[in-house]
């Protein structure tokens, strides 16, 4: 059996991540290769990472950014491995047996998909970076016992293994170009194809600290992506499990979208200011994302 570690790279220094992974591969003499695809990073980061061409099996540099979904599917072109381990480029290895843990599980279970989990610092950062940290700790960093209760809803793409044949049959939806919900759409497609997702305790540390402004911008992008998904999913089957989409569809059914839109228009600037402090609750973030979603839906 062979495993390919597939890492899409965009504007991030991945030297430490690659060194840590390669050390584990060498120490355990594992049949593993590392493949990197750079999604049209700036010249600064291309230069920072270019030395890795001699350290990994393949390093492909794209001239044009193709997005989070399409780049994952592109790895199929460059690997013949039975299994692919996808990692985000801002991840940090915190388990000295990280790769072997996946290897052992694959050998024993012959799974289709495995999600290992994620972690962030237990210490709360400066308030200027608090919003992303709060979202991670309350919504993303879930223990295995909790993830197993909703294996498809609590799946993420920052750290997962997929059988190559499964990804060939159920690829990422390449219509999703912007940030947001490509993981939940992928997991819903897996569920529809009756592909099981196993969850284990093998997390990656989220090594990229985002400011509140950057995370709020991404929240806006995710609302825009969700609007496009809803418009493309006329029967609402693929978005039916997304909480924000469910809230929107319920409001549309009950006819109170107009009222919500008026209230949001009045409060929007105050909400944004509160979110940018990093001290707002995630309910305020949900209110913001729903307001943005309604706005994008009304534009279509």
State how beta strands 83-87 and 159-163 pair.
Answer: antiparallel
Task: Check residue 143 and give its pLDDT.
Answer: 94
Q: How confident is the model at residue 234 (pLDDT cuts 50, 70, 90)?
A: low
CA dist 249 and 124 (Å) reads 35
Nearest alpha-carbon partner for 196 in 229, 161, 237: 161
Task: Check residue 1 and give its pLDDT.
Answer: 62
Q: Look at residue 43 and tell me whether its pLDDT is greater than 80.
A: yes
Q: How is residue 19 written in tokens?
A: 């060194």
**Biggest distance spanned by C-alpha atoms of the chain:** 62
Tens of pLDDT, residue by residue over 45-60, are 999 999 999 999 999 9
Rounded to an integer, the average pLDDT of 97-105 is 96
CATH 3.90.550.10 residue ranges of the chain are 3-206
% residues pLDDT > 90 (the chain): 84
Strand runs labelled E in the chain: 3-9, 32-38, 58-61, 83-87, 91-93, 113-115, 118-119, 159-163, 197-199, 204-206
CA dist 248 and 260 (Å) reads 10
Eight-state DSSP code of residue 14? -
Task: Check residue 238 and give its pLDDT.
Answer: 78
Task: Check residue 207 and give its pLDDT.
Answer: 73
Rounded to an integer, the average pLDDT of 3-30 is 97
Tens of pLDDT, residue by residue over 235-256, are 677 787 889 999 999 998 998 9
Rounded to an integer, the average pLDDT of 33-55 is 97
Q: Look at residue 71 and tell me whether its pLDDT is greater than 90.
A: yes
Q: Look at residue 233 and tell me whether its pLDDT is greater than 60.
A: yes
Task: Check residue 229 and give its pLDDT.
Answer: 87
Q: Look at residue 300 and tell me whether its pLDDT is greater than 60.
A: no
Q: How is residue 295 written in tokens?
A: 């706005």
Which of the two residues, 299 and 99, has the higher pLDDT score? 99
Rounded to an integer, the average pLDDT of 78-99 is 96
Rounded to an integer, the average pLDDT of 278-296 is 95
Is CATH 3.90.550.10 the classification given to domain 3-206?
Answer: yes
Task: Check residue 299 and give its pLDDT.
Answer: 72
- Residue 105 in contact with residue 111, Cβ under 8 Å? yes
Rounded mean pLDDT of the chain? 93
Tens of pLDDT, residue by residue over 170-227, are 999 998 877 778 999 999 999 999 999 999 999 999 877 799 999 999 999 999 999 9
């Amino acid at each position: 059996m062979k495993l390919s570690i597939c890492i899409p790279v965009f504007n991030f220094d991945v030297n430490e991540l690659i060194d840590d992974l390669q050390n584990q591969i060498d120490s355990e003499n594992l049949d593993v290769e590392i493949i990197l695809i750079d999604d049209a990073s700036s010249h600064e980061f291309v230069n920072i990472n270019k030395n890795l061409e001699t350290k990994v099996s393949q390093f492909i540099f794209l001239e044009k950014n193709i997005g989070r979904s399409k780049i994952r599917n592109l790895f199929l072109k460059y690997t013949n491995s039975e299994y692919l381990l996808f990692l985000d480029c801002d991840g940090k290895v915190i388990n000295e047996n990280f790769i072997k843990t996946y290897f052992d599980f694959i050998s024993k279970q012959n799974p289709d998909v495995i999600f290992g989990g994620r972690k962030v610092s237990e210490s709360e950062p400066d308030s200027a970076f608090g919003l992303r940290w709060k979202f991670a700790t309350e919504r993303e960093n879930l223990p295995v016992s909790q993830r197993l209760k909703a294996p498809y809803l609590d799946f993420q793409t920052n750290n997962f293994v997929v059988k190559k044949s499964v990804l060939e049959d159920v690829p990422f939806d390449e219509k999703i170009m912007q940030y947001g919900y490509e993981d939940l759409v992928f997991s819903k497609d897996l569920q529809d194809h009756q592909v099981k997702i196993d969850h284990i305790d093998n997390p990656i540390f989220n090594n990229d600290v985002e400011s509140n402004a950057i995370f709020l911008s991404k929240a806006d992008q995710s609302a825009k992506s969700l609007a496009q998904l809803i418009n493309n999913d006329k029967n609402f089957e693929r978005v039916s499990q997304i909480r924000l989409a469910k809230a929107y569809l319920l409001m549309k059914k009950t006819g109170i979208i107009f009222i919500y839109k008026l209230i949001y228009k009045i409060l929007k600037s105050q909400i944004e200011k509160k979110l940018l402090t990093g001290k707002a609750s995630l309910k305020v973030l949900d209110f913001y994302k729903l307001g943005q979603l309604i706005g994008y839906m009304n534009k279509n």
